Amino acid sequence: MKKILIIEDDKVTANIYCNKFRVEGFEVELALDGMDGLRAVGTFKPDLVVTDLMMPKMNGIELIKTLRANSATAGLPVIVFTNSFLSTMIQDAWKAGATKCLTKTNCTPKQFIDVINGVFAAQDAGPGAAVPAPNGLAAHYQAPNSSSGNTNRFAHPAGGFVQAPSPEIATPAPDLGTQLMSLNTGFFQGENGTSDVLVQALLRKQFFDNAPKEISSIRQTTTNLSRPDELGNRPQVMLELARRIKTLANTAGLLAFHPLSTMSSAMEAFARELANSPAHLNSSSLRTMAQGVDMLPMLLEQAKHVETSTVFSPSILIVDDEPISRRAVTQALSRAELRAIQLADPTMALTVLALNPFDLIFLDVDMPELDGYDLCSKVRALPGHSKTAVIFVTSSSDFASRARATLSGGSDFISKPFLFMEVTVKALVHCFRNQGQVLQAA
């Protein structure tokens, strides 16, 4: 019997996959942090390790490096299973020696089993054996030098894109993860004739019963960030927020509620970046986080009708005369697999906008011949662009600049310098909001 060690600090996700792997005939052991996982490698002696990247005490990258540095574990297969918005960490995991990297919301339990069986089959076949990719996963777990193109998450059959599962929340009252634990204990076991489909339906019901309370707690935690007495504790509050959002994201991903999972996963990654970069905890980033929280109830409601298939591939334009700024916004959008057209000339941009519809526009303010404010005013006069979302990205963050952005027709504002994940979350907010308006009008 093959032995699998799961290292995952989210007990809900860990419990589900422990049960699933046991049903498939594997012997399984669970560790809730990186240090315990490293000790379990020595005592349990697994044939394969499944690890998250964001964990207490020792993260997944440190774990992989430690395993690869030991001759006894240098060849041990390690599958990373994590939030797809942690793109830098995923790249670092590949470099550290990960065997496979899977994103939690893009991978069903059945697909995960297929990946594991493929790794074991390649291991049994000997060095150089190819591991077949399960349908629908190739673009998401190939190594960085893969020739596969990116998958557009908005073009997902469920009408959104995809992301992650994760951690336990220490609160006096039972949270979403704790409330789901009682149901997940027998998940996928098929005991007493219970099928995967039935248990999935039960998990779905319990999720909808408890998710509104969890979103309310997330909203309250976000509100606390603006309290004067919490200013010194903002990084810790951000980590608490990340933990809360992660549980929501993981369960939504497991249930294939892709828009909700994607939005919350991006917010989790953004919260972790802010916790690690307190200098970016400003009015712009806090407003972006609050906007993300405001989107969660709408996406939760849409998840109740997930069987309604809607393909939505947003069209995005970036107008900025500085190449570095254009590349920065483009790279931020790429984290959500959103693609954009870049233009340096605002006059040319106006011509392009007159001939083409766009769902979202990023504008710099200080540009030659036609500044961002004037360009936005002219865009609003164009047919089809009276309500197009326009986000100003500028170093001018004073009240007068924000007021002028609003008066010129701007929808939103991001201050430079920014974290990439702020642009990602902001873009998702406006794209999902536009998608929701399209669905309501349909």
Nearest to 266 by CA among 430, 50, 411, 64: 430
Q: How far is CA 207 from CA 19, 220, 251, in A?
A: 19, 20, 8
Q: Are 154 and 314 in contact (CB under 8 A)?
A: yes
CA distance 182 to 12: 9
pLDDT at 290 (0 to 100): 95
Cross-strand bridge partners of residue 81 = 102
Q: Which CATH class is domain 176-303?
A: mainly alpha
CA distance 81 to 55: 12
The list of the chain residues with pLDDT below 50 reads 137-141, 145-174, 182-194, 308-309, 442
- 316-441 has the same fold as 3-151: yes
Residue 231: DSSP 8-state: G
CA distance 74 to 96: 11
Q: How far is CA 17 from CA 12, 69, 182, 189, in A?
A: 9, 28, 15, 11
The structural domains of the chain, with segments of one domain joined by +, span: 3-151, 176-303, 316-441
Fold observed for domain 3-151: Rossmann fold (3.40.50)
Residue 330: alpha-carbon gap to chain centroid: 17
Per DSSP, helices labelled H in 24-57 are 34-44
For 65, phi then psi, to 5°, come to: -60, -40
pLDDT at 15 (0 to 100): 85
CATH 3.40.50.2300, applies to 316-441: yes
Per DSSP, helices labelled H in 163-226 are 176-184, 196-224
Q: Is 259 helix (H, G, I), strand (E, B) or coil?
A: helix
